[in-house]
Amino acid sequence: MNHRVSPKAGTRRTHAERSAATRQHLIATAIDVIQHRSLEEMSIHELAKSAGMTSGAVQHHFESKAVLMMNVLSELIESTVRSGEFWPSAALPARERATQFVQAVWSLVYAQPRFIVAWNIYLGCRNQPEVLGHIAELRQSVQARMHEGFFGAFPELAAEPDRDGLLGLVLSSLRGLGLLQLFAPAPQSAPPTVPDAAQQAQLSCLADWIAARCEAAAVPPKARTRRR
């Protein structure tokens, strides 16, 4: 006699798993609302309506919009980390490394719609100390990871006296280029992760500058003095 097991047997989720799945659904819905409409429209009521739930059910998971926004920001940061590896091998030539890094960080982080969503939240929550504190913690965490990854990929620059300023300039350049998407005409014929001619020119200049700094840093100090 054969005993068949129902496909659903043993697959029932726990309460914690169902709750986590609901939270992820709400966060994803909130990101979609902000991206395709606006932060102002992202209320608990609107989130409940868009997610097919009641406001009370949403507040069971996120008691306020501020708490929801903090969770959305955390998810945006983590999704950036999960999106792919953008640190090139330190064994590659400096120019190849710099080009790979700039192109990868652009396509995986700064050209992504979630980057603009995050900035909408940053700008829209300036009068909410609770959210601003959470943003500061996230920025500190991201900065530490970027610092470790960048100087691991470009070890020539790790000992440079202005290394923090150098990394800050690189990230500020990419951030500024990403924010220009706020003013881009829509719809675009190409995906946002594909840079247009002007963006590509700036990304190439940034990669060239990183490579030039690496090549200069690799020159022995005595040789630098002779060149001067």
Task: Please write the tens of the pLDDT for every residue from 139-155.
Answer: 888 888 889 999 999 99
In this prediction, residue 193 carries a pLDDT of 67
Q: What is the pLDDT of residue 5?
A: 46
Task: Say whether 1 sits in a helix, a strand or coil.
Answer: coil
- Model confidence at 214, pLDDT cuts 50, 70, 90, reads very high
Check: CB of residue 34 under 8 Å from CB of residue 42: yes
Q: What is the pLDDT of residue 14?
A: 87
Task: Write down the pLDDT at residue 224.
Answer: 53
Task: Write the pLDDT tens digit of every residue in 100-117.
Answer: 999 999 988 888 888 888
User: What pLDDT shows up at residue 114?
Assistant: 86
Tens of pLDDT, residues 45-69 = 999 999 999 999 999 999 888 888 8
> Which of 16, 113, 140, 133 has its CA nearest to residue 69?
133
- CA separation (Å) from 225 to 159, 163, 211? 17, 20, 20
Residue 1 has pLDDT above 50, yes or no: no
pLDDT above 90: residue 213:
yes
